[in-house]
Amino acid sequence: MSKFKKKKSGDLPAISTASLPDIVFMLLFFFMVVTVMRDTSIKVKNRLPYADEVEKLEKKDLIMYIYAGEPSERYQSVAGTEARIQLNDKYASLKDIKQFVFEERQDTREELKQALIAGLKVDKETNMGLVSDIKTELREAEALKITYITRKGEALKNLE
C-alpha cells in the first residue's frame, strides 16, 4: 500500500524539451535542402506575356526550358541588345538547340522520353522571327510538344 501512495504523491517530472530544438532543426534543414530557389540564373530579360487559357505544367523535371529575349542590362555590354537564346546557364545559338534537346533526352528515363516538353520562356518584346526559328529547330529535333509559358492574366493586358 505504501508503495501505491508514494507514486501518487510524487511530483510529475518535467518533460525535457532539450531535444525539441534538434527536431525542429532537422525539419529546418530538410526544408532548406529540399526547396530549390532557382536552378538557372536567367541572363535574358524575361517578362512573360499574359494568357488565361493556360494549363499547369505538373512534371517540372520533364520540361526543357528555353529562354529567349534581349540580354539583361548587366550583360548587354558583352552580349549586345539583339534578342538571344539561353539554354541552361549560357547564351546559345540556334544550332545548339538540337544538341540541347538530345542531351535532355539522354538524361531522361526511356519511358519518359516521349513526355518531354519544351517550355518556351520568351520575353514579350521578342520578335516572332526568333521564336519561329526556335520552333523550326525543335521540329527538326522532333521535340514536338511545346508550351508557351505565360503569366496568368487577361490577354488584353499584352497590348498595353
Binding footprint of another protein on the chain (CB under 8 A): 17-18, 20-21, 24-25, 27-28, 31-32, 35, 37, 49-58, 60, 63, 117, 119-120, 122-129, 131-132, 135-136, 138-140, 142-150, 152, 155-156, 158-159
Cα separation, 97 vs 139, whole angstroms: 11
CB nearer another protein, residue 27 or residue 90:
27
Cα separation, 43 vs 86, whole angstroms: 7
In three-state secondary structure terms, 40 is: coil
CB nearer another protein, residue 1 or residue 160:
160
DSSP 46: -
Minimum distance between the CB of residue 12 and another protein, rounded to whole angstroms?
18
138's CB contacts (< 8 A; 6+ apart) are 97, 101, 118, 144, 146
CB nearer another protein, residue 5 or residue 95:
95
CB nearer another protein, residue 19 or residue 77:
19
Minimum distance between the CB of residue 4 and another protein, rounded to whole angstroms?
34
Please check whether residue 149 is in contact with residue 64, taking contact to mean a CB–CB distance below 8 angstroms. Answer: no
Minimum distance between the CB of residue 99 and another protein, rounded to whole angstroms?
18
Minimum distance between the CB of residue 3 and another protein, rounded to whole angstroms?
34
Cα separation, 116 vs 96, whole angstroms: 18
